[in-house]
């Protein structure tokens, strides 16, 4: 089993899930504006913000680290991320829960996605 190499730290104190799907052409600047204008948060406070697309098969995470933004992106091959409904309240997770979400867990059921193994991109 491969160990994740590039992941948000499990020690993150707070992770905010943006509930509405976003346009994944947005860069770190566009995401920071969403954090500031729609959530009313300061994107430079060091919290991590997670976003997904309409199909729920991609995730982008944004956080400020000392002197610049870090953007984490994951695209699933066949599955979907288990995301709260748009009418739910702002969801706050821990770093560990975010990593479970990235592993494919439905945080309500604690059941992961099936592992996928491929030999070629074609």
Q: In this structure, is residue 27 part of a structural domain?
A: yes
pTM: 0.81
Local confidence pLDDT in tens for the 122 residues of the chain:
466 678 888 888 889 999 889 999 999 999 999 999 999 999 999 899 999 999 999 999 999 999 999 999 999 888 888 887 766 667 888 898 898 888 877 776 655 556 666 677 66
Q: Which of 62, 74, 52, 53 is nearest to 28 (CA)?
A: 62
Q: In this structure, is residue 3 part of a structural domain?
A: no
Expressed as residue numbers, the domain containing 56 is 15-102
Q: In this structure, is residue 41 part of a structural domain?
A: yes
Residues 6+ apart with CB under 8 A from 118: 77
- Could you tell me if residue 12 is left (phi over 0), alpha (psi between -120 and 50 degrees) or otherwise beta? beta
Sequence-ordered alpha helix ranges (H) in 27-94: 28-37
Number of domains in the chain: 1
Contact yes or no for 39/16 (Cβ under 8 A) = yes
């Amino acid at each position: 089993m491969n160990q994740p190499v590039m992941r948000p730290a499990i020690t993150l104190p707070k992770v905010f899930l943006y509930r509405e799907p976003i346009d994944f052409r947005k860069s770190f600047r566009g995401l920071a504006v969403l954090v500031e204008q729609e959530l009313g948060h300061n994107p430079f406070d060091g919290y991590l913000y997670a976003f997904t697309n309409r199909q729920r098969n991609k995730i982008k995470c944004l956080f400020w680290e000392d002197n610049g933004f870090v953007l984490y992106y994951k695209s699933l091959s066949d599955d979907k991320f288990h995301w709260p409904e748009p009418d739910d309240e702002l969801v706050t997770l821990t770093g560990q829960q975010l990593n479970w979400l990235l592993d494919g867990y439905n945080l309500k059921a604690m059941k992961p996605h099936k592992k996928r193994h491929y030999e070629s991109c074609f």
